[in-house]
Amino acid sequence: MNIHEHATFWRDPLLDDLELLHATYVTHTFSPHMHEGFVVGIVDKGAETFTYRRSSFTAPAGSIVLINPAEMHTGSAATVQGWTYRCLYPVPTLLQRAASELADRPRDIPFFSDAIVFDPDLSTQLSILHDTFATSSSALERESRLLWTFAQLIHRHADSYPPQSIRSFTKEDGAVTRVRVYIEEHYAENISLEQLAQLANLSQFHLLRVFRNTVGLPPHAYLTYVRIKHAKQLLVRQRSLTDVALSVGFADQSHFTKHFKRIVGVPPGVYAHQAL
């Protein structure tokens, strides 16, 4: 039986531009990337394999995938049949609000230690929530279900804060911070490794090693991530694909489209149309 890939991506502007994805992938592979917000995924069929926090995971049907903000991860099919899943990408403040409402007092942004959890009842609730955003025109229903379901997710599976390794701030930490800031401010430019190494006051090889160890991505992949992040903002404003590609630093629309799909999961034209 031939399984066809398809993906639908949309946003809810009333709830902090919550992004949602419903997709079936067979051959599609996500590049190493990260998100500003959380990833909450429900695997409906098949299985997904991914790397995250320097480990490899396989999420079968019925499992829930939880990725914390700004954490590098990948994604691909674990079998030749691919996988079907639904994803929600809430910004950190949205889950912080749910945690605070649950505790009836201000709380920090929650942290999920487990990348995969098995909770059939919560999986059903998350699937209903995802369907609600696809079918309901009632803002009250969408917001109510979201707050209630995320509160259950946090209550059952979140830690109050991420585990912290105790170590002093090093010269390399400062170098990586300077490089990240430079990339985020100059993402549209043709940045060279030599430039970044001089900025960091490290050798080129040393910079590659410490940047990857700290961020989870090499500098060129982090630059691509930053470019795609800004491209999404421009696409929502209905800018042309060519204009967006050149504005964020890609050489042409073809390269832009390839990188966009490998990070977001849909081509930029589809994202621009469905995200409105």
Residue-wise pLDDT for 181-233, tens only, equals 999 999 999 999 999 999 999 999 999 999 999 999 999 999 999 999 999 99
pLDDT confidence band for 273 (50 / 70 / 90):
confident
User: How much is the pLDDT for 171?
Assistant: 83
Radius of gyration of the CA atoms of the chain, in A: 19
The mean pLDDT of 27-41, rounded to a whole number, is: 96
Residue-wise pLDDT for 159-192, tens only, equals 866 555 555 667 888 999 999 999 999 999 999 9
The mean pLDDT of 243-261, rounded to a whole number, is: 96
User: How much is the pLDDT for 123?
Assistant: 97
The domains of the chain, with CATH numbers, are 6-157 (2.60.120.280), 171-274 (1.10.10.60)
The mean pLDDT of 241-264, rounded to a whole number, is: 96
Res. 110: pLDDT tops 80? yes
Residue-wise pLDDT for 233-242, tens only, equals 999 888 899 9
